[in-house]
């Protein structure tokens, strides 16, 4: 019997049912960024029951579990905990009870899988040695939680890490993990821009500087930045997601604001996009006769997520041995963003991030054949996003156990 098999013998039907109950409970009680108090309490209690040294309130609401089991590598497994301001429309019997708040990105599944894997590894300490670290991270959705944990002395609690490992559910067929070396998720920057005009009566526009017209000109001009200033061989997205101005139909407002988001895979492209945004906005404000320059405020900034090549090859081999070639697929780079990479960068350790399929395989196949994946297989951040609990949950636990044991030493006799 392999070490992985020895650990997973405890993942029987009873254990899987208990974890499924935990998952449904977490799904029903989502919590926003830096307010994951209930989720953190549940994670911490389960770690204590498994024998971990537990630290709470790390970086706000983060939880760190440390299990030292002799000499050897220190392996960190990470799960994020926060939910999204989305009104759930899945119709599930365990749908969110928090109006306007939903686990629309699967972080409830991540917490459940890590909780299960940590318990199994703790119960089978005779199979490995080293240090196992369980990171339950807050505020991933606003790109703040990982850095907050690091700034709050994370590595004083864990010691030097050898590798950082994490997974994320995606709307791909359940029963499959997706992985690739190198760049896997894009960098993202969200910016709020305030535009200043001169308000007045809508019947006398000549006495005003209309910030709505200014905003409209900026939005249209920004559409040319990617198409005309970024090479077709590079990847970039620029989206204006919000425009706000005014309170009444016969009043020209004094101010307007626009919020935009960019996604890039290259530091140079990111720099060029940010510079182009500032150039376009300032130029349009000047052309409109704005009484003062626009102001810019960064809302969040996600770093590029890149898997360490050597560590990814090592883990891909382990996954292929465990799940078979059909259970492991290449994960094409995605424009979605994560702050997971902050941990490995700050620790000076390799990190690997992989995808976990969570969609019904037969439904996915039908939708793919019909060219309706977007319509029939809801993705992350959709109000209809609902991971298939089985086999997603047990496979997520199995993937984390496999990943941890790929680095943790075999127990010395």
User: Which helix or strand (DSSP H or E) is residue 249 part of?
Assistant: none
User: pLDDT 10s per residue in the chain (413 long)?
Assistant: 899 999 999 999 999 999 999 999 999 999 999 999 999 999 999 999 999 999 999 999 999 999 999 999 999 999 999 999 999 999 999 999 999 999 999 999 999 999 999 999 999 999 999 999 999 999 999 999 999 999 999 999 999 999 999 999 999 999 999 999 999 999 999 999 999 999 999 999 999 999 999 999 999 999 999 999 999 999 999 999 999 999 999 999 999 999 999 999 999 999 999 999 999 999 999 999 999 999 999 999 999 999 999 999 999 999 999 999 999 999 999 999 999 999 999 999 999 999 999 999 999 999 999 999 989 999 999 999 999 999 999 999 999 999 999 999 998 77
Only one residue has tokens 């990171």, namely: 135
Distance between alpha carbon 243 and the CA centroid of its chain, in Å?
Answer: 25
Please report the pLDDT score of residue 223 as a whole number: 96
Give all domains of the chain, ordered by start, each with its CATH number.
3-183+304-407 (3.40.630.10), 187-302 (3.30.70.360)
Residue 82 is among the residues annotated as catalytic for this protein: yes
- Residue among 107, 77, 262 nearest 186 (CA): 262
Which of these is catalytic: 35, 36, 80, 82? 82
Q: Is 151 one of the annotated active-site residues of the chain?
A: no
The full 3-state SS of 373-403, as one line of letters, equals HHHHCCCCCCCCCCCCHHHHHHHHHHHHHHH
| Catalytic residue (one of 31, 88, 140, 141) | 140
DSSP 8-class letter at 108: H
DSSP per-residue letters across 112-177: HHHHHHHHHHHHTGGG-BEEEEEEEE--TTTT-HHHHHHHTTHHHHH-S-SEEEEEEEEEEETT-E
Distances (CA, A) of 312 to 154, 158, 195, 344: 24, 23, 46, 13
Rounded CA gap, 209 and 285, in Å?
Answer: 10
Alpha carbon 387 to its chain's center: 15
Model pLDDT, residue 412: 78
Reported pTM: 0.93
Give me the pLDDT at residue 411, please. 86
- Are the CB atoms for 217 and 239 separated by under 8 Å? no
Contact between 144 and 268 (Cβ < 8 Å): no
């Amino acid at each position: 019997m392999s070490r992985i098999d020895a650990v997973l013998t405890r993942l029987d039907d009873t254990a899987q049912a208990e974890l499924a109950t935990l998952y449904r409970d977490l799904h029903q009680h989502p919590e926003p960024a830096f307010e994951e108090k209930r989720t953190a309490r549940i994670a911490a209690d389960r770690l204590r029951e498994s024998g971990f040294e537990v630290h709470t309130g790390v970086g706000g609401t983060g939880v760190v579990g440390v299990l030292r089991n002799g000499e050897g590598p220190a392996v960190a497994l990470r799960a994020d905990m926060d939910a999204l301001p989305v009104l759930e429309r899945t119709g599930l019997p365990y749908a969110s009870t928090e109006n306007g708040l939903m686990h629309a990105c699967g972080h409830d599944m991540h917490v459940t899988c890590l909780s299960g894997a940590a318990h199994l590894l703790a119960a089978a300490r005779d199979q490995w040695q080293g240090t196992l670290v369980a990171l339950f991270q807050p505020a991933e959705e606003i790109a703040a939680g990982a850095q907050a944990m690091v700034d709050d002395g994370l590595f004083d609690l864990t010691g030097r890490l050898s590798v950082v490992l994490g997974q994320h559910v995606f709307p791909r067929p359940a029963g499959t993990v997706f992985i690739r070396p190198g760049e896997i998720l894009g960098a993202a920057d969200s910016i709020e821009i305030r535009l200043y005009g001169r308000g007045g009566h809508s019947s006398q526009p000549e006495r005003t500087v209309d910030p709505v017209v200014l905003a409209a000109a900026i939005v249209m001009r920004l559409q040319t930045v990617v198409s005309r200033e970024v090479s077709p061989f590079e990847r970039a997205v620029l989206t204006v997601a919000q425009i706000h101005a005014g309170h009444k139909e016969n009043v020209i407002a004094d101010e307007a604001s626009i919020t935009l988001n960019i996604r890039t895979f290259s530091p140079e492209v990111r720099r060029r996009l940010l510079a182009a945004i500032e150039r376009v906005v300032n130029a349009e404000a000047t052309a409109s006769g704005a009484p003062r320059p626009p102001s810019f405020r960064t809302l969040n900034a996600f770093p590029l997520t890149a898997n360490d090549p050597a560590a990814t090859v090592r883990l891909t081999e382990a996954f292929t041995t465990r799940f078979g070639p059909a259970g492991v697929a290449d994960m094409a780079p995605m424009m979605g963003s994560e702050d997971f990479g902050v941990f490995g960068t700050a620790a000076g350790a390799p990190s690997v991030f992989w995808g976990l399929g969570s969609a019904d395989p037969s439904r996915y196949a039908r939708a793919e054949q019909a060219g309706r994946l977007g319509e029939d297989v809801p993705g992350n951040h959709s109000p209809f996003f609902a991971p298939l609990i089985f086999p997603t949950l047990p496979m997520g636990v199995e993937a984390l156990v496999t990943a941890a044991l790929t680095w943790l030493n075999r127990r010395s006799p």
